[in-house]
C-alpha cells in the first residue's frame, strides 16, 4: 500500500508570481487506469484480469472487508 502523510497544522509554500491564466484544449485519452493503492483504507480484491476489456460502469475491484462496496470503471463523456 502507499505511504500516507498526514499534515496536522497545514503547509504554506511561499511562491512568487501567479499561475498562467491560459486554457489549453487536450485530446481525450484512449485508455484509463485506476490503481487500488490510491484508495486508503480499502483492502482491494481485484475481480478482473490484467489486460481484460471492461465496459463503462463495470466492476474492477471490491473491498475485502465490505464486499458490497464495488469500485467500477469510469464512464467516458460523450462530449
Domain range list for the chain: 36-72
State the Cα–Cα distance between residues 32 and 48, nearest whole angstrom.
15
Phi–psi pair at 36, nearest 5 degrees: -60, -25
Contact 27, 76 (CB under 8 A): no
pLDDT tens digits along 10-65: 777 778 888 889 999 999 887 778 888 888 888 999 899 988 888 888 999 999 99
Question: Model-level pTM?
Answer: 0.57
Please tell me the predicted confidence (pLDDT) of residue 2.
64
Amino acid at each position: 500500500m502507499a505511504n500516507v502523510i498526514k499534515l496536522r497544522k497545514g503547509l504554506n509554500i511561499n511562491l512568487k508570481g501567479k499561475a498562467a491564466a491560459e486554457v489549453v484544449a487536450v485530446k481525450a485519452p484512449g485508455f484509463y487506469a485506476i490503481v487500488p493503492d490510491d484508495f486508503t483504507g480499502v483492502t482491494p480484491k481485484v475481480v478482473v484480469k490484467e489486460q481484460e476489456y471492461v465496459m463503462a460502469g463495470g466492476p474492477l475491484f471490491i473491498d475485502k472487508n465490505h464486499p458490497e462496496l464495488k469500485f467500477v470503471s469510469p464512464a467516458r463523456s460523450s462530449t
